[in-house]
């Protein structure tokens, strides 16, 4: 893999993140970036394709998030709508192990977004990062560690160790 390719990839991801965050802000959707991109923005190098968000958990916000993602060319991977995700959230989590609602761009599979449905933005502290193109809101370092400690995924366990190291160094 060449350095030129990596630079182009990082620029593309940066532009996609700013496009998503700008659209959420414009439409007054309370959100926070979580997952691998949030881990990376806190200083831990981590590769990931999808962009993970948590939102303020209510039906109106979930419907608006779906509309915004659809307007950006992203469609639900599952044949479900926001109202169903909201109304059957507990059933989806318990019976189908669905904790993230995935959207993708059928014309560009590098554009993937997951709305984490078993978390609520209201439960966490946020950090705002100013960019030349706007603002990215992500979970604070401590909140991201707390969220990742709730899972049993090996990648999240590794992220917690790396994020704790970053916290302890500062």
| pTM recorded for the entire structure | 0.92
Residues 111 and 92: beta-carbon distance below 8 Å? no
Give the confidence band of 49 by pLDDT, cuts at 50, 70, 90.
confident
- pLDDT above 90 for 36: yes
DSSP, residue by residue, 47-91? --SSEEEEE--SHHHHHHHHHHHHHTT-EESSS--HHHHHHTHHH
Query: Which tens digits make up the pLDDT trace of 63-90?
Result: 999 999 999 999 999 999 999 999 999 9
Query: Which tens digits make up the pLDDT trace of 5-30?
Result: 777 777 888 899 999 999 999 999 99
Residues 71 and 81: beta-carbon distance below 8 Å? no
Alpha-carbon gap, residue 89 to 71, rounded angstroms: 24
- pLDDT above 90 for 46: no
Query: Which tens digits make up the pLDDT trace of 104-137?
Result: 999 998 899 999 999 999 999 999 999 888 899 9
- pLDDT above 80 for 94: yes
CATH of the domain at 101: 3.30.460
- pLDDT above 90 for 41: yes
pLDDT the model gives residue 1: 62
Domain encompassing residue 17: 3-169
- pLDDT above 70 for 59: yes
Residues 62 and 120: beta-carbon distance below 8 Å? no
Domain count, the chain: 1
C-alpha R_g of the chain: 16
């Amino acid at each position: 893999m060449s350095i030129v390719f990596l630079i182009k990839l990082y620029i593309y991801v940066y532009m996609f993140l700013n496009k998503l965050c700008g659209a959420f802000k414009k439409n007054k959707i309370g959100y926070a970036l979580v997952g691998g991109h949030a881990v990376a923005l806190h200083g831990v190098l981590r590769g990931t394709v999808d962009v993970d968000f948590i939102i303020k958990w209510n039906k109106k916000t979930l419907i608006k998030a779906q509309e915004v993602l659809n307007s950006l060319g992203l469609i639900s991977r599952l044949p479900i709508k926001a109202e169903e995700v909201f109304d059957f959230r507990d059933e989806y989590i318990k019976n189908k192990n669905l904790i993230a609602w995935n959207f993708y761009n059928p014309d560009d599979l590098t554009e993937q977004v997951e709305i984490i449905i078993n978390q609520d933005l209201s439960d966490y502290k946020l950090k705002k990062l100013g960019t030349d193109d706007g603002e990215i809101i992500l979970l604070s370092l401590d909140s991201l560690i707390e969220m990742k400690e709730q899972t049993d995924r090996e990648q999240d366990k590794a992220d917690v160790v790396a994020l704790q190291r970053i916290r302890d160094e500062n």
